[in-house]
Every structure is written in structure tokens, then in C-alpha cells.
Amino acid sequence: MSFEFTLEAECGHARAGILETPHGPILTPVFAPVGTQATVKAVEPRELREMGATLILANTYHLHLRPGDTLIRDLGGLHGFMAWNGPILTDSGGFQVFSLAEMNRIGSDGVTFRDYLDGSLHHFTPETSVRIQHNLGSDIMMAFDECPIPTDRDVVEAALDRTHRWLVRCVEEHTRHGHPSRQALFGIVQGGIFMDLREASAHFVRGMDLPGYAIGGLAVGESKADMYSTLEQTTPLLPADKPRYLMGVGSPEDLVHGVARGVDLFDCVLPTRVARNGAALTRQGRINMRNQQYAADPSPLEPGCTCYTCTHFSRAYIRHLVKASEILAHQLLSLHNLHLLLTLMREMRAAILDGTFTDYAAAFLASYQTVGAHKGSNAIPVAGI
Amino acid sequence: MSFEFTLEAECGHARAGILETPHGPILTPVFAPVGTQATVKAVEPRELREMGATLILANTYHLHLRPGDTLIRDLGGLHGFMAWNGPILTDSGGFQVFSLAEMNRIGSDGVTFRDYLDGSLHHFTPETSVRIQHNLGSDIMMAFDECPIPTDRDVVEAALDRTHRWLVRCVEEHTRHGHPSRQALFGIVQGGIFMDLREASAHFVRGMDLPGYAIGGLAVGESKADMYSTLEQTTPLLPADKPRYLMGVGSPEDLVHGVARGVDLFDCVLPTRVARNGAALTRQGRINMRNQQYAADPSPLEPGCTCYTCTHFSRAYIRHLVKASEILAHQLLSLHNLHLLLTLMREMRAAILDGTFTDYAAAFLASYQTVGAHKGSNAIPVAGI
């Protein structure tokens, strides 16, 4: 059955499961590379498949503005348009409407904003967001929500109320005009860092009986301590038999912390964005490939890594490409960074199934943090896997 | 034996052959994609192999300045550095020294110029160029030459004299300090559009008894008529049993015209450069993917093309990537454009072996020129192969 979620194993709060979708199963925990404009930047779909990506994310807001969701619908939906036959998740556009739009005016009906491309006026409502996602044809759709700075209680409370009313309208629109067996609509729990609001939100959103639940409003500026604390108090409020999605996370350490707190799905631009800034993710931390120390370094980005980049190219070569502003630098660093996060997720899943997740997470974080302490130093050691 | 050239068939002046190199045979006629800075822009080495590239070109001038040829030598030469195990050709740096350098001063000894990266002073001599190419470890090295605007007789004559004296020094340096069985040094025939100078140059350069001969100083600003005319009078001046290389060419039509005039090797940045400008090469001509007419076009760049791009993506998708300034646009257009030129070379080789080259070339040029007549129009038709 579409969108059935099977919990295979738990280890502490960490979970391993399988989420069925019309475009194949997703083994969880899973990290979704982000393809904002219907392309994971600098990576070909066949390369995503090769590195074991299953779920990717695309952005409703950007694709609605360019090239337009009706065009994408007419060209086979996102799957056909971007030649990705695996599962796709689309966000609601809410986050971008609030954070990117030049001007926005929030009403109870929705949000009016100016197009960042040509300045024209647009109006997004819960119904608009759902209809656009119908056109995009994603496997997993997100409810239209407001995601405020999570630390101002009055703002968070007002946004939460709107988010709940908008959720009801999203569900109605999807039930009436969508195909819930082909596209799953996930609800989003908001409430900032305030646990009574998170509880109220989880209670409300659970009441809609949806195929999956997201935790929104984290990783948007609050402290790491606030994020981890809110997260570990929120996941237990969600049904155990449905997938849990932490939006916009993350870094290697946040993925481990998230899985440890019972999250099943993640997405983040970080691996491809830092690649375009010339940085490689490693199990010991992030390394800046512009640094002189790599100029004659014959070793791969991460010794032992099995990705195309690490099995063929040296740090010295990649540093040369970065310094020479070559496109191949973005390609090779993006391949490696995504491969690392996807490998990390597979390792965590295997450890959960083995019952060794706690040890795995502790070992990973100890090694990762050791280097975190040297940040800014040129002497970041990168040991073998 | 290294660098043995076997002529397999001739059809008119067109030739099919095999050039042996330490990194494998090159079936000719051949087009070499250009990897200026030790990377064919936006294309991975495994993709070059997949599309059937055999020979690639890298630039001595750029690599000497950054990252430095001794560094590349220490990291396994160009083959190891850029993970390309096939044959590599390096130019002499002469063309860039004269055309790119901020300031250059030509003496009988060599050229003094300022580094375009940091303004520092460099001095290139024939010996310098050969030594750098020894460090790079290319299979085919080029003699250091001066390549002036080909239509000013006085300038061409003075440059030719220098080029000949420099060739003697290149050969001496390579014989004394190089490994002619591992690296072949090709001489370059200059002389602009003046046939008596071309004859004198061919006579001089042939006298050095080299493993291959290039025709330089064309495709640098003269008219197409001048280029084709000079070319067809120059190739007969070169030995039939050695490969002939036309530097810096070309476009699809120029490749056909070059092969028809007896050229075996070509290189050009055109396919990857026009890709980065958002244009696709097709058998009917160049098409600009920014054009509105492709906005909803579900067909591939070139119907019937077997490249990764054409078998997976629509013109509408590629137009979207170009408009959104996505790196994947450069990747997919570069893959297609290179694949087209490599396919064209394979087809020409097969036609020469079949004895049908004249018909093939006439049919290709008729179809290509038909569209050339519509240049600037939005209605460039792209028919099946």
C-alpha cells in the first residue's frame, strides 16, 4: 500500500523503517539531497542513484515561479521533467514565501508577496500550495505553514494558530482535488522552542490522521542546545507508526543527533552548498580545500571513502580546481559530500538494526567533535574511516 | 612501437588511420576535447571515456602558472593528476604567451611576459616549453612557436623565421633531456595565408623528421575561404605517413572540411564554451537554449542522439536550467556537444573506411548549411538524425 510505514527496529529512540511510495521504498533513516530548482546542484540524476540516494527534495516556491508548475505537469511532473524516477518530496513554499519574498503580507487567507525574479505580485494560500504540489506530482507533499523565528512566544503563538487553520484547508483541498494514494500530505508541528505550544501543535496535527509528520521551525537560528532539547521532547508526541521528518537538517552531527532522537527523514542544502564554497565534509569535520596545506596533498578528500571523487582524485587536484574556479570542483565536492551523508545514514540504519546505534553515534560524535575543537586551525587531521 | 602511425584508408584526401601512443591507440580522424586547466570544463573523466573520447588537450601555459608543472609531475603527471588514462596532447604555451599575456616582449631567446594571475614576470623559451611539457608528461608535445595574425606578410615572415629556429632548439632539448619513446614532439608549420611561406615552412619542418606535424596559424581571424584554401594547399606538403594536426579547430562544418582536406587530429574549446553560453550543437546548426521557442519543447536537444543528455532530458528542462543559471546546464550541454563532435568524427572515419566519405561530407554540409542560412531566426528546425 502506498505510504505504508513499517518500523523494523528501534535502538533507544532511533528507528529503522521502510516507507513505501509510488516511486519505490525509502529505507529510513534517510537523508534527502535538495534539488531546489529541479536539479541537485552540479549532480546528475544518474550520479544520485549511483551514490544510493532514494528521496530528493524540490522547492514548490521556486518551481512555481520558474519554470511554472503547470509546465512541469505538462512535461510529466517533476519525475519526468528532471529525469528522477525515485521518490520526491516537495515543501509547501511557506518557508520561502516568508524568508525570500521582497515584500509579504500575511492575511488569514494566505500570503501576498513579490516575485524575486520580476517583482510581480503573487498570492499563496493553503489551496494554492496544494494545487502547485499536485502539478509537480511529488510523492510527499508538505502542508502550507508559517515558520517564524522560534524564540518569540507571541509571534510563534499567532503563527501556530494560522498554521493549524491552514493545515485543515490543505487536507480539505488534497482530499477533494488530489490523489492521496499517489501523493501523501504530511502535516507540520510548529511551536518554536515552547514545549506547551509544541504539545498543542502535535495534538492538533495528529488529530488530522496524516501519513507522516514533520517537525518544523527548528534549525532556523535557535541554539543547538534549544534545537536538540525541543526535538527530543517533540518526537515522543508523534505517533510511532508514522514517519517523522525534521525539515532543513543537516550537518553530519545534526543527522546523528536527529536519528538518536527518533527522526526518520531529513533534508538539507548543506552538502551541495558547502561544496560550491570549496569545502569538503569529512568524518572529522569540514575542511576548506582552498587551504595551502592541501596544495601538494596526494591523498583523497577522505581516505577510505568509496565515492567517485575519492577513488580518483587527490586533494591537490581538487584544491587546484577550486582555486581555478572550475565547475568540476563543484561537481566532485558535491558528489563526495552527498556520498558521505548518504553513507552515514546507511551506517546508522545498519547500527539500529544491529542494536549498536548508541555506540555508533557516540563513536562518530567523539571523532567529529575532536576536530570541531580545532576549528579555524589549518591542522585539521583527516584520519581513515 | 610508440607513435607509429598506420594509414588504413584514404577517400579523396580524407584519411583514416591509427596513431599508437603510450596511453593507447588513437583512431583518426579524431577530435580532442580541451581541458585547459587539467579539466574539460564541467565534464568528468569517466564521462569523456563513456562518450568515446580518446585524446584530450591540456594547456602548458595555464598549468605552468597554476598549479605549476613540477607539482603536476610530482603527482603522477597530467594523467595521474586529472585521472585521465588516455592519450594527452599539450600545446607549447606559445599561443597563450602571445595572446593572453598582459605584456610580452619577444626576443630571439624567447618571450618575457606578465602572469595574468598575479602580474609576476615570466620568461618562456623553447627549452622552457619543452621542460614544462616533460613535467606534464603528455603523450604528444608541441614545439614552441609564434602564431601571428596570418594576413600581414612582414609579421608572418619574421615570426616564421623565429619559429623555425625555436623548433631546432625544441628538438635538441627533447632529444637531450626527454624520452622521445614516451613523448612525441610535433612540429608546427606556420606561414599565414602565404603559400610560398607555407611551402618553405613545410620544407623546413619536414626536415626535422618528427613523429607528427601540425598546421598552425589558421582559425585565428582569417576568412573561412582563406582557411580552407590554405589548408588544402598545405596538407599535401606534409608527409603522408605521419599524422597531421589542425590546431584550434573546430566547429562541426570545419571538422568536415578539415577531414576532407587530409587532417587527422583536431582540438577546440568550442563545444564546451558554447555549452556554457547555453547553446547546443546539432547537425543542423547551433541552437540557443534561452530561446522562448524551447520553453515547453518535450523533445531532446537532437532527436535520435544517444548521449546521456538527449536520452534523459527535454529541451524544456535544459532551457529551464540555463535560465536558472544551474550548473547542470553546463554539464548536460557540454556532454551533448562533445558527444556530437566525437560521433561526427567516428562517422567520418567509418565513411572513409567504406569509401563513402565524399557523399557523407556533402550530405552533412548540405544539411548543416541549410540551417546556417536561417541563422538569427527563431525557427531553426532540428530534424532527426
B113-149 per-position pLDDT tens digit: 888 888 889 999 999 999 999 999 999 999 999 988 8
Under an 8 A CB cutoff, do B331 and A331 touch?
Answer: yes
- Residue of A91, A139, A254, A264 marked catalytic: A91
* Minimal CA separation from A323 to chain B, in Å: 9
**Best residue in B327, B330, B335 for a mutation probing chain A (most A CBs within 10 Å):** B327
pLDDT at A132 (0 to 100): 98
Amino acid letter, residue B240: A
Search chain B and give the residue with CA nearest A67: B320
- Which of A45, A75, A317 has the CB atom closest to B314's CB atom? A75
Residues 6+ positions from A45 with CB-CB distance below 8 Å: A82, A83, A84, B312
Name the least confident of A70-84, A331-345, B147-161, B280-294.
Answer: B147-161
Answer for the pair A144, A214: CB distance below 8 angstroms, yes or no. no
Cell representation of residue B87: 592519450
pLDDT at A370 (0 to 100): 44
Using CA atoms, how far residue A16 sits from A265, A345, A361, B106, in Å, is: 11, 10, 14, 70
Under an 8 A CB cutoff, do A331 and B326 touch?
Answer: no
Under an 8 A CB cutoff, do A75 and B298 touch?
Answer: yes
d(CA B28, CA B140): 15
A340 DSSP β-pair partners? none
Amino acid letter, residue A311: T
If DSSP codes are grouped into helix, strand and coil, which group holds residue A260?
helix
Bridge-based pairing state of the strands A121-124 and A111-114: antiparallel
Using CA atoms, how far residue B35 sits from A332, B61, B130, in Å, is: 16, 12, 19
What is the ipTM score, two decimals? Answer: 0.95
Bridge-based pairing state of the strands A213-215 and A244-246: parallel
Under an 8 A CB cutoff, do A328 and B43 touch?
Answer: yes
Residues 6+ positions from B79 with CB-CB distance below 8 Å: B23, B85, B88, B137
| Digit-coded pLDDT (tens) for B24-58 | 999 999 999 999 999 999 999 999 999 999 999 99
**In whole angstroms, what separates CA A209 from the centre of its chain?**
23
Under an 8 A CB cutoff, do A81 and B316 touch?
Answer: yes
pLDDT at A380 (0 to 100): 29
Give the number of beta-carbon pairs within 8 Å between A and B: 102
Cell representation of residue B5: 602511425
**What residue spans of B305-356 are helical by DSSP H?**
308-312, 315-323, 327-354
d(CA A373, CA A152): 31
Q: A331 to chain B: which residues are within 8 Å by CB?
A: 42, 44, 327, 331
Q: Which residue has the cell 565515492?
A: A307
Answer for the pair B189, B215: CB distance below 8 angstroms, yes or no. yes
Q: A296 to chain B: which residues are within 8 Å by CB?
A: 71, 74-75
- Residue of A69, A139, A254, A267 marked catalytic: A267
pLDDT at B192 (0 to 100): 94
Mean pLDDT, residues A357-377 taken together = 73
| Digit-coded pLDDT (tens) for A136-192 | 999 999 999 998 888 899 999 999 999 999 999 999 999 999 999 999 999 999 999
d(CA B195, CA B192): 8
Cell representation of residue B282: 546539432
Q: Does residue A375 carry a pLDDT above 60? A: no
Write phi, then psi, for B67 (nearest 5 degrees).
Answer: -85, 0
Which residues of B form the catalytic set? 91, 267
| A interface with B, Cβ–Cβ below 8 Å | 37-39, 41-46, 66-67, 71, 74-75, 81-83, 295-296, 298, 308, 312-314, 316-317, 319-321, 323-324, 326-328, 330-332
Q: A37 to chain B: which residues are within 8 Å by CB?
A: 320-321, 324, 326
Q: A328 to chain B: which residues are within 8 Å by CB?
A: 39, 41-44
pLDDT at A46 (0 to 100): 98
Cell representation of residue A217: 521551525
Distance in Å from the first CA to the final CA of chain A: 39
Mean pLDDT, residues A222-233 taken together = 94
Whether residue A109 lies in the annotated active site? no
Under an 8 A CB cutoff, do A42 and B331 touch?
Answer: yes
Answer for the pair B112, B121: CB distance below 8 angstroms, yes or no. yes
Answer for the pair A105, A111: CB distance below 8 angstroms, yes or no. yes
DSSP string over A321-362: HHHTT-HHHHHHHHHHHHHHHHHHHHHHHHHHHHT-HHHHHH
pLDDT at B381 (0 to 100): 30
pLDDT at B377 (0 to 100): 32
Whether residue A267 lies in the annotated active site? yes
| Digit-coded pLDDT (tens) for A258-294 | 999 999 999 999 999 999 999 999 999 999 999 999 9
Sign of CA dihedral B327, B332, B337, B338: positive
Q: B319 to chain A: which residues are within 8 Å by CB?
A: 67
Under-50 pLDDT residues of chain B: 370-385
Cell representation of residue A281: 565534509
pLDDT at B264 (0 to 100): 98
pLDDT at B379 (0 to 100): 31
pLDDT at B383 (0 to 100): 24
Residues 6+ positions from B211 with CB-CB distance below 8 Å: B3, B5, B180, B184, B185, B186, B242, B243
pLDDT at A147 (0 to 100): 87
Under an 8 A CB cutoff, do B320 and A75 touch?
Answer: no
| B interface with A, Cβ–Cβ below 8 Å | 37-39, 41-46, 66-67, 71, 74-75, 81-83, 295-296, 298, 308, 312-314, 316-317, 319-321, 323-324, 326-328, 330-332
d(CA B239, CA B209): 10
pLDDT at B331 (0 to 100): 98
Q: Which residue has the cell 619536414?
A: B206
Q: A33 to chain B: which residues are within 8 Å by CB?
A: none
Under an 8 A CB cutoff, do A66 and B42 touch?
Answer: no
Query: What confidence category does residue A99 fall into, taking pLDDT thresholds of 50, 70 and 90?
Result: confident
Query: What confidence category does residue A369 fall into, taking pLDDT thresholds of 50, 70 and 90?
Result: low
d(CA B64, CA B56): 18
**Best residue in A63, A135, A317, A323 for a mutation probing chain B (most B CBs within 10 Å):** A317
Treating both helix axes as pointing N-terminal to C-terminal, what angle do A126-136 and A153-177 enclose, rounded to 10 degrees?
A: 50
Under an 8 A CB cutoff, do B75 and A298 touch?
Answer: yes
**Best residue in A44, A73, A297, A307 for a mutation probing chain B (most B CBs within 10 Å):** A44
Q: Does residue A374 carry a pLDDT above 50? A: no
Long-range CB contacts (within 8 A, 24+) of B107-112: B108/B162, B108/B165, B110/B144, B110/B166
Q: State the SS3 of B38-90.
A: CCCCCCCHHHHHHCCCCCEEECHHHHHHCCCHHHHHHCCHHHHHCCCCCCEEE
Amino acid letter, residue B83: A
Q: Does residue A239 carry a pLDDT above 50? A: yes
Distance in Å from the first CA to the final CA of chain B: 39
d(CA A82, CA B324): 14
Under an 8 A CB cutoff, do B327 and A330 touch?
Answer: yes
